[in-house]
Amino acid sequence: MSEPHVRLVNITKRFGNTVAVDNVTLDVARGSFTTLLGPSGCGKTTTLRMIAGFHDPDAGDIFIGERRVNEVPSHRRNTAMVFQEYALFPHMSVFENVAYGLTIRGLPKPQVAQKVRATLKFLALEGLDDRSPHQLSGGQQQRVALARALVMEPEVLLLDEPLSNLDAKLRVSVRTEMTQIQRSLKLTTIYVTHDQEEALAMSDAIAVMHQGRVVRFGTPWEVYYRPRDRFVADFVGLVNFVEGRLVEVSPQVLVADVAGRSLRFAPEGLALRPGDGVLLSIRPECIGISLAAPTGAANVLHGQVAVSQFLGRLVRYWVAVDASTWVVDEPDPSTYSLLSGEVYLTIEPGKVHVIAAENKDKDEGGR
Amino acid sequence: MRRLENAFWFAFAVPTLGIVLVLFFAPFLYSALGSFQSKSGQLTLDNYALVARLYTKDVLYTVGIATFSLAIVLFIGILLCGYLRVYGNKLVEFLFKIPLFVPFVVVGHAMRVFLAPHGILNSMVAQIGLINLDNPPSLAYSWLGISLALAWKNMAMAVLLILGAFRSVHETYLEAARNFGAGAIRQTLDVLLPMSASSLAVASVLMFTSMLASFSIPLMIGGGKGAQMTMIDVYYRITYQGDYGAANALGVVSYLLASGAAIYYLRTVTRK
Ligand SMILES: Nc1ncnc2c1ncn2[C@@H]1O[C@H](COP(=O)(O)OP(=O)(O)OP(=O)(O)O)[C@@H](O)[C@H]1O
Ligand SMILES: [Mg+2]
């Protein structure tokens, strides 16, 4: 993508004995929506707070544009933060909350009023000026918090799980709204969430964090279909893991022996040799399922439906093949009552992803 | 079952209520009633007439001193606690809590030594040649001396109460303000103060009441002539004149002032 706007270089942050953020390096592209995604306690908030200037890193450098901002106080970094609990001042009206930052900046009153009005209008909050935060719905509070940040015209917008206090339905509509706002302003945005669906839906780039480290950084598609890491594959969506040993290697195709069956898949440009052990991942929606034996498919497995679940827009099957169980998502819900008992699974070679490979000579996992 | 439980709680509450009634309300009611009785026991308003005639000035003087000391305490206390809440400083916090452990009489004495005409403060100021020690001004034996001593003594309590209230304001509100560029003073005045207004009101009423009722400090620092604080008047009325009726009336007036302050503050807080 374009030039980096926010750059973290070997950032580390410790709290006593806990290493909250461990040697993180990350380039956030200008104008992008970049998400820090990971389970609770992986260091997302700490990373965001170091960018905002609420924590000093113990090691490493933070750049915003050309400027190294490690020692720059929070309000001189041109960042604006939206907090998880919003932190709207309860004793101020909506208008006063949004105006507060500009007032501190010493802007003349008419100018403050004009900017606040424009921002409230932009976020469809007109008419709520005089309300107190506790007189607003969760979604409105969230928008006021966003307005309070946007009115400052920040260079970088920082959001810490801003949707987590909203109910599921509202969350989906607000996230669409927020994506539109961000796209229209082309504002560099760093977003923290532990919700993988949210991350996939909203982001230009996702940094998956695990135990203080960034374990995968890429587009939503890359993170989902090319996770390159067992943790990432498992955390982002549902996945079938398969272990095998390579029996055939050619530029067009790799063949692995998986519990006595051969599985053919695409080489992805990896330098592998016969005899190497591989860990493969296959998404449930990438597997076909049928009652009749398919013809001409590269990989066919024969198994028994153990459990099936009707999930509305899809049907999820657990299929026993020999000693292992495969999860398969069938997008056509009308198959629900039809598929049972003996079934055939088909897997296209392009849908198999190599997570990790183990060289047979060196006894070392190379990822 | 429900009945039994209620009976149990009732049995449990009765002795407690009894103690409260006997130990707190009875003496209070007794002295309030006493303020409406003459020496021979007849109902009368004479005591209040006497208070109005002799002590109106003293009552105003007392309210003035308590208000002024409270203003000093709140001004310093709020800024100091704002600083302590935003930056944190264990040593300063500890130093300001020391007066909590110093008895009133000791404060009075220390302040008297410090503020006297030939006391430490004047000696220091004379050293730099600002005043002439042959005819020294004195803070002791004046309303200002009493106010300063009361403020000094109440400072610790104020820090304890105000800092407690400020600490209960969640850090993210301060971070939000800091992110906008608010310094320690703006964080204190714009965020901490309004968000802990109700606790501060309670603390103010507590301190105001204790200042109204202060005795040993005005006794030791106050001048012998001119206006006196009401508790001194109560003391003289009883020990030298044996006049319980007027003393009780003064007590009731003090009580009304204190509850007036409480009602005023509660009003201003609940209106918000
Ligand atoms: N102020 C602090 N003092 C001590 N430890 C902290 C502090 N802040 C965070 N930590 C620790 O650092 C680690 C990372 O915390 P962080 O808040 O960044 O996680 P997170 O990814 O935001 O998690 P969540 O999804 O639960 O918000 C955790 O182990 C946490 O306990
Ligand atoms: Mg967090």
**Is B176 in Cβ contact with A104 (below 8 Å)?**
no
Q: Which residues of chain A have a CB within 8 Å of the CB of B191?
A: 89
Tell me the mean pLDDT in the region B171-194: 94
Q: Sketch the domain layout of chain A as residue ranges.
A: 4-234, 238-359
A238-359 has CATH 2.70.240.10 classification: no
Tokens standing for residue A277: 């052990």
Minimum Cα–Cα distance from A54: chain B residue: B175
The pLDDT value recorded for residue B271 is: 57
What is the reported pTM? 0.81
Measure CA A109 to chain center. 41
A231-250 confidence digits (pLDDT tens):
999 999 899 999 999 998 88
Q: How far is the CA of B172 from the centre of ligand 1 (A)?
A: 15
User: Domain total for chain B?
Assistant: 1
State residue A255 phi and psi, 5-degree precision.
Answer: -125, 125
The pLDDT value recorded for residue A94 is: 96
Tell me the mean pLDDT in the region B233-261: 84
With the most atoms of ligand 1 within 8 angstroms of its CB, the residue from A12, A14, A18, A58 to mutate is A18
Looking at all shown ligands, the one closest to residue A43's CA atom is 1
Tokens standing for residue B124: 């220091």
Which CATH class, in words, describes the domain spanning A4-234?
alpha beta
C-alpha A280/C-alpha A269 separation (Å) is 15
Question: Does the CA dihedral A332-A333-A339-A345 come out positive or negative?
Answer: positive
The pLDDT value recorded for residue B22 is: 83
Average pLDDT, chain B: 84
Instruction: Detail the DSSP E strand segments found in A16-174.
Output: 18-29, 33-37, 59-64, 67-68, 79-82, 156-160
The pLDDT value recorded for residue B241 is: 83
Structure ipTM: 0.81
Give the CATH number for residue B151: 1.10.3720.10
Q: How many CA atoms lie within 13 A of A340 on its CB side?
A: 7
Residue B212 has pLDDT above 80, yes or no: yes
Residue B226 has pLDDT above 90, yes or no: no
Tell me the mean pLDDT in the region B247-255: 86
The pLDDT value recorded for residue A367 is: 39
**Is B179 in Cβ contact with A74 (below 8 Å)?**
yes
Tell me the mean pLDDT in the region B44-56: 84
Measure CA B229 to chain center. 13
Asked if the structure places residue B16 within a domain, the reply is: no
Asked if the structure places residue B217 within a domain, the reply is: yes
Residue B272 has pLDDT above 60, yes or no: no
Asked if the structure places residue B39 within a domain, the reply is: no
C-alpha A43/C-alpha A11 separation (Å) is 11
Intervals of chain A under pLDDT 70 = 1, 359-367
Q: Which residues are CB-contacts of A217 (< 8 A; sequence separation ≥ 6)?
A: A26, A205, A206, A207, A208
With the most atoms of ligand 1 within 8 angstroms of its CB, the residue from A21, A36, A44, A210 to mutate is A44
Asked if the structure places residue B7 within a domain, the reply is: no
Query: Can you give the residue range of the structural domain that contains B264?
Result: 55-271
Minimum-distance ligand 1 atom for the alpha carbon of A212:
14
The pLDDT value recorded for residue B251 is: 86
The pLDDT value recorded for residue A363 is: 45
Minimum Cα–Cα distance from B187: chain A residue: A104
The pLDDT value recorded for residue A39 is: 94
Q: List the end-to-end C-alpha distance of chain B, in Å, as a whole number.
A: 44
The pLDDT value recorded for residue B43 is: 83
